[in-house]
Amino acid sequence: MDNIILERISPKYFTPRNIGQSEIWNRNAVFQKGKKFLVVAPSGSGKSTLATAMLGTHFQYEGNIKYDQQPVKNLHLEQIVEHRKDGISLLFQDVRLIKNLTVSENILLRVFNQDRKKFIPKMKAYAEILGIENLLDKKAENCSYGERQRSAIIRSLINPTDFLVYDECFSHLDLDNKKIAFSLIHEVSQESGSSVIFFELNEFPFEHEYQILHL
């Protein structure tokens, strides 16, 4: 997938704060593969609503979201699920690891039916960078929220999609760990040619070259 296109979309059942000043709601916007974006908005502006709509989990909006030229509303569920394998992924705000699986088992779920062994060196390398290499055999339910958040970031990167979407994925990390996680996401996305779309409450408190859009 090369583009995610938003055509004058707005939520059906609520009016986001600052909708009149939004650079996305009720406007046309294109997220191109390989480009990097930071979407900034205060609480109540519909960040999670938009992120999940882009993933195709609901259609509670006016206007159109397109994967290239295909309106997501017109796709069959099987086609939407297929796009989630290599087209678009979302790290949800609530992380969504399976509690009774280990961290490594959770991470390797994203490789689907491929040979898991070939992804293990990469998983270990990313875990070392994020400081959770000693947690790979620990069950997710026994990890702190910050540890689970770092685990979920690795899961998103182990087999990256064309569009990597993150909904406040650093909310339980301190500034140092936030910088490290951001650098890892950026580096992996550069290697894979993926687009990155961060949804955040505020701009990052460190230097970056991502295009900033206000929701």
Q: How confident is the model over 115-144, as pLDDT tens digits?
A: 999 999 999 999 999 999 999 999 999 999
Question: Are the C-beta atoms of residues 118 and 145 closer than 8 Å to each other?
Answer: no
CA distance 74 to 199: 26
* Mean pLDDT across 151-174: 96
pLDDT confidence tier of residue 35, bands split at 50, 70 and 90: very high
pLDDT confidence tier of residue 20, bands split at 50, 70 and 90: confident
44 or 166: whose pLDDT is higher? Answer: 166
Tokens of 156: 């998103």
Task: Write down the H helix ranges in 130-174.
Answer: 145-158
Q: Which pLDDT score is estimated for 44?
A: 85
Q: Which pLDDT score is estimated for 93?
A: 86
- 126 φ, ψ (degrees, to nearest 5): -65, -40
* Mean pLDDT across 22-29: 95
Looking at residue 201, its amino acid is: L
CA dist list (Å): 62 to 58, 120, 125, 155: 12, 43, 43, 32
